[in-house]
Structure 1
């Protein structure tokens, strides 16, 4: 159940810090700066799409600079198509695009801990999986589980505990 960390390269220090915290919590991650294939391929879109498909969660690091990125919205779109668990981590004071309101929005270390707790609960209950070729019924169940993940995490962040 890896977490794909999406970010604009100018936000790399935040992405690396989040990656380190998730690794410290024994959560497998994908961060392209650590992937030699993403640094050397002509088919970066294919590499990104494949890696998102192999992950169960996408955490997008967003700042005022993200508005100028093509890749972060592309990666969020790819994760949406495959019903990944999607969250954003806001790194500054800028307003986030309205389309991100659909998913949990993290902005503090405490929110990141809530994400880690929600992730662990999904592992424990086996509600999250990578998608290969699955039947329609299982796909609907997976989609419902993704919505449950989002709703529960949003509520916890809103409550603050």
Structure 2
């Protein structure tokens, strides 16, 4: 159940800090460290798509710099298509696009702890499954489980405990 960490390369320090925190919590992650300038678009797209497919969660680090990124919205779109658990982690004062309201929005270390707790609860309750060769009814179950994850985490962030 790895977590794909999506970020603009200018926000690498924040992404690396989140990555470290998740790894300390024994959560497997994928942190893209490709240099987009040295790769072709097809190479980057293939790597991103494959790695999102291999992850169950996507955590997008968003800042005012993200607004001019094409890759972060692409990654969120890829995760949406395959019903991944999606969250954003806001850094700085930037206003987030309204489409991110659909998923939990983290902005503090406490919120990240809530994400870790929600992730662990899914592991404990075995609610996360991989999508490889899954029947249509299983895909429906996976989508409902993802929605449950999002709703419960949003509620906990809203309540603050």
Question: Which runs of structure 2 are paired with 1:60-79 in the superposition (5 Å)?
Answer: 60-79=60-79
* Unpaired segments ≥5 residues, structure 2: none
Equivalent residues in 2 for 1:19-38, closer than 5 Å? 19-33=19-33
Q: Which residue of 2 aligns with 1:6?
A: 6
Q: Secondary structure at the match of 1:89?
A: strand
Q: Which whole-Å CA distance do the structure 2 matches of 1:97 and 1:85 have between them? A: 18
The CA deviation at 1:41 is 5.2
**Partner residue of 2:98?**
98
TM-score w.r.t. structure 2 length?
0.95
Q: Root-mean-square deviation (CA), in Å?
A: 1.5
Q: CA distance change for structure 1 residues 97 and 9 in 2, over 3 Å: closer, same or farther?
A: same
Mapped partners of 1:79, 1:27: distance in 2:
18
| TM-score where L is the length of structure 1 | 0.95
Distance 2:28 2:118 in 1: 15
Q: 3-state SS of the aligned residue for 2:95?
A: coil
Partner deviation per Cα, 1:47-103 (whole Å, 9 max, x = no partner): 100000000000000001100000000000000000000000000111100000000
Give the 4+ runs in structure 1 shifted more than 4 A: 38-41
For structure 1, the 5+ residue unaligned runs are: none
Alignment of 1:24-63 (within 5 A): 24-33=24-33, 42=40, 43-63=43-63
Q: How many residues align?
A: 159
Provide the secondary structure at the position in 2 that maps to 1:113. helix
